[in-house]
Structure 1
Amino acid sequence: MEAAELLFNQVFRYFGIPEDIVSDRGPQFVSRVWRAFFTRLGVAVNLSSGYHPQTNGQTERKIQEISRYLHTFCHGHQDSWSQYLGWAEYAQNSLHQPSTGLTPFQCVLGYQPPLFPWSGEPSDVPAVDHWFRESERVWGSAHHQLQRALRRRRLTANRHRSDAPAY
């Protein structure tokens, strides 16, 4: 029940209950509890093919991008990678996607939240100033690394493409 409760508390309460879910074949996703929970909600559960990551390719690509960022940024800081994950997600959700021309924030929320709404005025609390400086540094790095990944993906995808013939 733990995975289902987490999904409800962290996703469904913000975005609603979906018509279907695609998941891998992890033990929590093939359990009797999982199936009963989603059957009761009226949600179709689709399991990806084992050892076939292309089944859920879009998610796999995003995971690869975030993993590359974390690998690059956290080199030498492996014990604290989780503190950078939120900023990596924030940067990813702020990137314009070629397929829509919008950021994920714009698609989901209908607007782009301000990236750094705080003023540049220093605080009289050094720990607060340090947090904001570090946050800007981490976000900037995450954004830069994810843009690089997007450019690499675009170059790779376009490597074997040619312009359509004019008729």
Structure 2
Amino acid sequence: MHGELVHNLVTALQYPKKLAIVKCSAHRKVTDKIGQGNALVDRVAHETAMQLSTTSMYVVKSQAERWHNAKQDILDIQKSASVKEREQWSEEGELDDEGCWRNKQMDKWKLPIAFVQPMVQMAHGLAHVGASTITKLLTQVWEHPEISNTAKRVVQSCLICLQYNPGKGTRTPAGGFATPTAPFEVLQMDYIQLERCNNLKYVLVVVCAFSKWIEAYPTKDNNAITTAKVLLKEFFPRFGVCRLLWNDNGPHFVGEVIKYVLKGLGIKQKFHAVFHPQSAGLVERYNATLKLKLAKIQASKSLTWPDALPLALLSIRSVPHSRIGLSPYEVVFGRPMNIWGVPKPNSVYDVPCVLMNDYLAQLTDNLVSIHQQV
């Protein structure tokens, strides 16, 4: 499509013997060649900007192209199905236009038995997630009766899981506070302490009470100034200013600098009950989950905890919550995290949005539906 333009550019580049970059004064009302050139550039830039701002033709990458690539992956996986499996699929499933087998009623792709074990191993991953989580992750997209049993066998035979998984104890309740109505309105935060590594010893953990989205920031200390810096430089610029912030009454959360920052931003602060961890149940549970995942990742890949932290966060954010069946990523962004490369049938990836406005409309509908489930 741009062959002629490229040819003209290459041809023009062959003419000069030498190239030089000369700084010229811009935006001057003069009639010399430099002034005329600057005026032309300004005029073209202004016209182009006006065209973009007055139309809705912001083109995004076609979802159809992404969907085509995913369908090819599905076809490659389903090629390994035996004759008996294909006969069974034909009785209870449906073949779509591209030749992919799926369960139409459940909106899931048929998974051959040859791929059940590899898929389960991949879902178990570096974070060593549990059997129920593996089953939830895979059965969002795939259908096979042996997924659950295989997940249990994989976890039960994993040496790292046997070493680090705790016994069943009393589950800490999430704590009593009004249910928020949107992501990042209400936050809980706390510090955890780890072994010192590269001058880092603490992690500030921030959890969204609505979406269960977790952020974790490694720090060298845990004083009030560090807390304020993390909130102002890291969290609030990315996710916006919250309405309510829950934390304990340690000096890192009650210092004058914290009070000044929260007051200036109009954030209400509430404190957990002293010596009553249940009032901070949400962040306490995520503290324990984060520590466990870090330990497993470090044990399996010999990583330092700062290097293992992004992998642990990826695992927590992408796993569906036990109560609502949606991952924190899905609650925040309106679609499942694309870590498998194969979306489920009739998902948001299946909508061929070419214009940005169409994509935003579809995304808004998805978020409204998801937030109602939360």
TM-score range, shorter chain: 0.5 to 0.7
Alignment of 1:118-133 (within 5 A): none
SS at match of 1:46: strand
Asked if structure 1 preserves the Cα contact closer than 8 Å seen for 2:297 and 2:303, the reply is: no
Q: Aligned pair in 2 of structure 1 residues 92, 35: CA closer, same or farther (>3 Å)?
A: same
Distance 2:319 2:303 in 1: 27
Tell me the distance in 2 between the aligned counterparts of 1:106 and 1:46. 28
2:320 aligned with 1:60: no
Q: The residue matched to 2:245 in structure 1 has which SS?
A: strand
Superposition map of 1:95-106 within 5 A: 95-106=319-330
Dislocated runs of 4+, deviation >3 Å: 75-79
Tell me the number of residue pairs that the alignment of Structure 1 and Structure 2 aligns.
117
The alignment yields a C-alpha RMSD, in angstroms, of: 2.1
Aligned to 1:89: 313
Task: Select which of 270, 273, 276 maps to 1:49.
Answer: 273
Q: Residue in 1 aligned with 2:208?
A: none
Match of 1:6 in 2: 230
Identity, % of aligned positions: 25
1:110 correspondence with 2:334: yes
Cα deviation 1:50-75 (Å, max 9, x = unaligned):
22211110111111112112223324
Is the contact made by 2:320 and 2:328 (CA closer than 8 Å) also made in structure 1?
yes
| CA distance in 1: counterparts of 2:336 and 2:301, whole angstroms | 31
1:28 pairs with 2:248: no
Q: CA deviation at 1:116?
A: 5.9
Q: How far apart are residue 111 of structure 1 and its match?
A: 1.7
Q: Is the contact between residue 262 and residue 268 of structure 2 (CA under 8 Å) also seen in structure 1?
A: yes
* Cα separation, partners in 2 of 1:35 and 1:84, compared to 1, 3 Å: same
Q: Secondary structure at the match of 1:74?
A: helix
Contact 2:244–2:270 under 8 Å retained in 1:
yes
Task: Determine the C-alpha separation between the residues in 2 that align with 1:68 and 1:52.
Answer: 22
Distance change (3 Å), C-alpha of 1:76 and 1:15 = closer
What residue in structure 2 maps to residue 133 of structure 1?
none
Relative to structure 1, the CA distance from residue 83 to residue 55 in structure 2 (aligned partners, 3 Å threshold; closer, same or farther) is same
CA distance in 2, matches of 1:45, 1:78: 39
Do residues 72 (structure 1) and 296 (structure 2) align?
yes
Q: Indicate how the Cα distance of structure 1 residues 76 and 51 shifts in structure 2: closer, same or farther if over 3 A, else same.
A: farther
Secondary structure, counterpart of 1:39 in structure 2 = helix
In proportion to residue count, which structure has more helix?
1
Q: Are residues 22 and 86 of structure 1, via their aligned partners in 2, closer, same or farther at CA, if it must alter by over 3 Å? A: same
Larger Rg: 2
**Per-residue deviation, residues 81-122 of structure 1 (Å, max 9, x unmatched):** 2211110001110001122221100111112232166xxxxx
Query: For structure 2, which runs of at least 5 residues remain unmatched after alignment?
Result: 1-224, 342-374
TM-score (ref. length: structure 1): 0.62
Query: Quick one: distance in 2 between partners of 1:3 and 1:60?
Result: 18
